[in-house]
Structures are given as C-alpha cells and as structure tokens.
Amino acid sequence: MQHLPFLTRPLLAMSLILAGLSWIATVHADSGWMQGRATWYDMGNLKDGNCHFDWSPTGRFVAAWPDKQWGFASSCGRCYEVRCRNSDFRDGYGQFLDRSQSCYDSQGKSVVLTITDACPCSYPNNAYSNQRWCCGDMNHMDLSKEAFEQLANLDVGVIGMEFREVDCYSKGNQGGDGNKGSNGGGYWNNFGQW
C-alpha cells in the first residue's frame, strides 16, 4: 500500500499534462475567430463602393466595413472568412434580436470575402438603418447579397457571425453540397482558381 502514492502522483501529473494539451489544441484550432453580426446589401457596381475597386479577388463576395469600427482606415482590400453563428444579440438601439435558428449550416459553412465598401454610421439616405448597425456597438459587416445568401436566408436580414482575417485566395468551408461557384459568387476567385 505504501507504493500507491508514488504511482498516483505520476499518473495525476500525466493526466493534468494531457488535459492541458487538449485544452491548448482546442483553443488553437479555433483561434483568430471574432464574433459579431452581419447584414446584407445589394452592392450594385463594385466601382461605386467606398474603395473604388475595379475587381475583387473574391468576385461578388464582398462586404462593407463600418467607419466607426476598429481598423476602418486600412480596411479596403482586406479579406475575411465569415461564417454564420446562431445567436441572440441587440442592435445599435438596444432591440433584442433572436437569431438562434438563422444559419443554413450549423456545421460551420463559411465564405471568404473582400472589404470593398464602407458602412457609414452617419448616412442621411438611410439614417435609421445605418445607425442601427454601423455605429460601433459591436463588430459588424454589411455583406453583399451574394455572400449573405450562402449563409442564411435573405429574409432574416441580420445574423450572428464569426469572422477572421485570411488570405484573399483562401476558400471558405463549403459545408453541405460543396462548390457553389458561379459569377465569382462561389469559392472561386476571378481567375477561376481555388
């Protein structure tokens, strides 16, 4: 019986080490993702966006970045992987929104998009909506219609999201049926490459 404490200590230490390594791997595997919300807009001509781009490496998968959000000054041309997140949150006016059943794919389908426009907090032609979403109360992106509809039904209007900065030529997690590529609106860039 005297040998039992000597065996127990190394086993306990090994268990703690393995548990710690498992926790580190879990945190690292999902690192870099930030939470926020996303709305959608019909972007029209890419050149009309705040960044005045002629083209985007992610085709019509683009987004507008709020002018009151961190990183706005250098947001043009950055690419982000975005995935829908079933969640509840509040808008800029404090209204509670239940989006706990909004995502098409609970397995993490994502899209890669390029920031090509601004979502101004103060915009007289759409003051109520822009102040509701674009004034910095939480992380936000206004996704092109083409990008949003890959993640959720357009009728939902706003979803919880997770996002992280990626290389512009990355492909998102296609989820369910795989390649949705068409008109730059899938996982292809403008050069027809993955």
Average pLDDT estimate for 136-163: 97
Place of tokens 């000597």: 6
Which residues are bridge partners to 118 per DSSP?
65
Residues 159-175 have pLDDT tens digits of 999 999 999 988 777 65
Whole-angstrom Cα distance, residue 83 to residue 163?
6
Average pLDDT estimate for 40-62: 92
Could you tell me the pTM of the whole model? 0.74
Residues whose CB falls within 8 Å of the CB of residue 50, separated by 6 or more in sequence, listed in order: 64, 76, 116, 117, 118
SS3 string, 138-192, reads CCEEEEEHHHHHHHECHHHCEEEEEEEEECCCCCCCCCCCCCCCCCCCCCCCCCC
* pLDDT of res. 94: 95
Which residues are bridge partners to 143 per DSSP?
40, 63
Whole-angstrom Cα distance, residue 172 to residue 61?
11
Place of tokens 């007289």: 124
Share of the chain above pLDDT 90, in %: 62
Report the mean per-residue pLDDT for the chain: 80
Give 184's pLDDT tier (boundaries 50, 70, 90): very low
Whole-angstrom Cα distance, residue 100 to residue 185?
26
The tokens of 63 are what? 């987004």
Residues 23-35 have pLDDT tens digits of 333 333 567 999 9
